[in-house]
């Protein structure tokens, strides 16, 4: 093991991250795979990270016959250091076949150099655009990037709702800043200029100040790009204020775990962009996935779980067809096409595998949204 790797590996064990053994399923067979799940299940991204973990775990449980899969879930927290340490720890056991990697953009950016050095495919549902803009051949994103989702977000606001004066509230994380930049570009192409833009820290516990300032700018729609908890807090306080303008939120709002924090009446007229909404149904295969997810985890699946499920399923499909090394898996992901539950995935040459987005809306009577618009983008 190179000196750098040895040093980092020792540091990883010294850090003594919390971990939980994930299921290793499938009959003993010729192909033995190692697919660690390195995601945030604590901290401000716990809701999204838990969905991501569950999707990966369910896919591994459904490994094709003939594959033996070893897996471990390691909580990365939300710091870049936590993600790096988790990857070093996983790599220290031998070269993983692939890794289910954190959806948090800052963590992905920290993991990319090590993935390149170790030669490990990272399969993620991170929406942060820049992770696939650095020429790293080892990253594969199974959730549409901001270039797809924010374009759909802005088009729905301008073309379907006919709004021209959006107030944009975004998170001050890499995720939030990436989304805000793409929203600004998408609105500009539509001839729309936001009347208000402000970033908020994910730790803020009162959205009333930013909501009050946004409404003072006289917007005709509130456009959110926030994580799950802040989204729920904002929607609840907006419902109490009754500002009289619609809310079109980011993908965090489509999550059943976010909707569960709100009363159905508080969701009336609220819409969100996402890649898919498993709880909304749409096909027998989607409904079967949702039923299995509920049985396994006692909660509702979201698009992050589904995207990670599809991503790991594509890895397993490639392995079942003979790709049993990290390099072979990388090549299969880079060159292949896979019909997943959410959409058909194929790389655009930079690791962006997902090229569709949908808009979902709540009617105020339940926490299950309806899919109202779909946007497909040619890779």
pLDDT tens per residue, range 289-300: 999 999 999 999
Query: pLDDT per residue over 208-229, tens digit each?
Result: 999 999 999 999 999 999 998 9
Interval 263-277 mean pLDDT:
96
pLDDT tens digits, residue range 359-370? 999 999 999 999
pLDDT at 378: 79
279-283, 284-288, 311-315, 340-344: the lowest-pLDDT one: 279-283
Q: Which of 19-33, 75-89, 148-162, 260-274 is predicted least confidently?
A: 19-33
Residue 24 pLDDT more than 50? no
pLDDT at 12 over 60: no
Find the largest Cα–Cα distance for the chain.
Answer: 65
Q: Which residue has the higher pLDDT, 57 or 4?
A: 57
Quickly state the pLDDT bin for 279 (edges 50, 70, 90).
Answer: very high
- pLDDT category at 31 given cuts 50, 70, 90 is low
Strand duo 37-39 + 166-171: pairing = unpaired
CA distance between the termini of the chain:
39
Question: Residue 69: is it exposed, middle or buried by C-beta count within 10 angstroms (0-12/13-18/19+)?
Answer: buried
Give the Å distances, CA to CA, from 125 to 34, 141, 238.
19, 5, 29
- Residue 6: is its pLDDT beyond 50? no
In the predicted structure, residue 121 carries a pLDDT above the cut 80: yes
Contacting residues for 98 by C-beta, under 8 A, at least 6 apart: 35, 120, 121, 122, 123, 312, 315, 326, 329
Which pLDDT value is given to residue 111? 97
Please return the burial class of 30, using the count of CB atoms within 10 Å of its CB with bins 0-12, 13-18 and 19+: exposed
Under 8 Å between Cβ of 270 and 312: no
The pLDDT tens digits of the residues spanning 238-253 come to 999 999 999 999 999 9
Whether residue 152 is predicted with pLDDT greater than 70 in this model: the reply is yes
- pLDDT for the residue 11: 36
Mind listing the pLDDT tens digit for each residue in 254-266?
Answer: 999 999 999 999 9
Residue 370 bridge partners (DSSP)? 361
The pLDDT, as a whole number, for residue 377 is 86
pLDDT at 215: 98
Pairing of strands 67-70, 99-101: unpaired
Residue 47 has pLDDT above 90, yes or no: no
Average pLDDT, the chain: 90
Q: Taking 50 as the threshold, does the pLDDT of residue 8 lie above it?
A: no
| pLDDT attached to residue 93 | 85
- pLDDT mean over 71-75: 96
- Determine the pLDDT at residue 129: 80
């Amino acid at each position: 093991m190179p000196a750098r790797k040895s040093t980092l590996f020792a540091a990883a064990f010294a850090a003594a991250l919390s971990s939980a053994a994930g299921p290793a399923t499938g009959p003993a067979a010729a192909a033995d795979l190692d697919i660690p799940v390195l995601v945030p299940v604590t901290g401000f991204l716990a809701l999204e990270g838990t969905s991501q973990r569950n999707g990966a775990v369910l896919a591994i449980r459904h490994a094709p016959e003939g594959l033996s899969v070893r897996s471990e879930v390691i909580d990365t927290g939300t710091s870049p250091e936590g993600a790096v340490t988790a990857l070093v720890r996983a790599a220290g056991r031998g070269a993983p076949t692939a890794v289910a990697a954190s959806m948090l953009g800052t963590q992905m950016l920290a993991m990319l150099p090590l993935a390149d050095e170790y030669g490990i495919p990272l399969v993620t549902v991170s929406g942060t655009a820049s992770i696939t803009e650095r020429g790293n051949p080892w990253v594969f994103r199974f959730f549409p990037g901001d270039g797809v989702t924010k374009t759909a977000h802005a088009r729905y606001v301008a073309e379907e709702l006919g709004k021209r004066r959006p107030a944009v509230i975004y998170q001050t994380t890499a995720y939030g800043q990436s989304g805000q930049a793409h929203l600004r570009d998408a609105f500009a192409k539509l001839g729309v200029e936001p009347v208000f833009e402000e970033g908020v820290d994910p730790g803020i516990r009162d959205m009333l100040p930013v909501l009050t300032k946004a409404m003072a700018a006289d917007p005709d729609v509130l456009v959110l790009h926030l994580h799950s908890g802040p989204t729920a807090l904002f929607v609840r306080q907006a419902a109490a204020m009754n500002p009289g303008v619609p809310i079109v939120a980011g993908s965090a709002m489509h999550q059943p775990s976010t909707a569960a924090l709100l009363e159905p009446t508080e969701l009336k007229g609220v819409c969100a962009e996402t890649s898919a909404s498993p709880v909304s149904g749409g096909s027998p295969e989607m409904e079967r996935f949702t039923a299995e997810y509920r049985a396994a985890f006692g909660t509702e699946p979201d698009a992050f779980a589904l995207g990670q499920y599809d991503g790991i399923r594509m890895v397993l499909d490639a392995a079942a067809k003979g790709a049993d090394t990290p390099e072979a898996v990388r090549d299969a992901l880079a060159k292949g096409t896979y019909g997943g539950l959410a959409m058909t995935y194929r790389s655009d040459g930079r690791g962006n595998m997902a090229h569709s987005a949908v808009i979902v809306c709540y009617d105020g009577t339940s926490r299950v949204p309806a899919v109202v618009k779909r946007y497909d983008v040619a890779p």
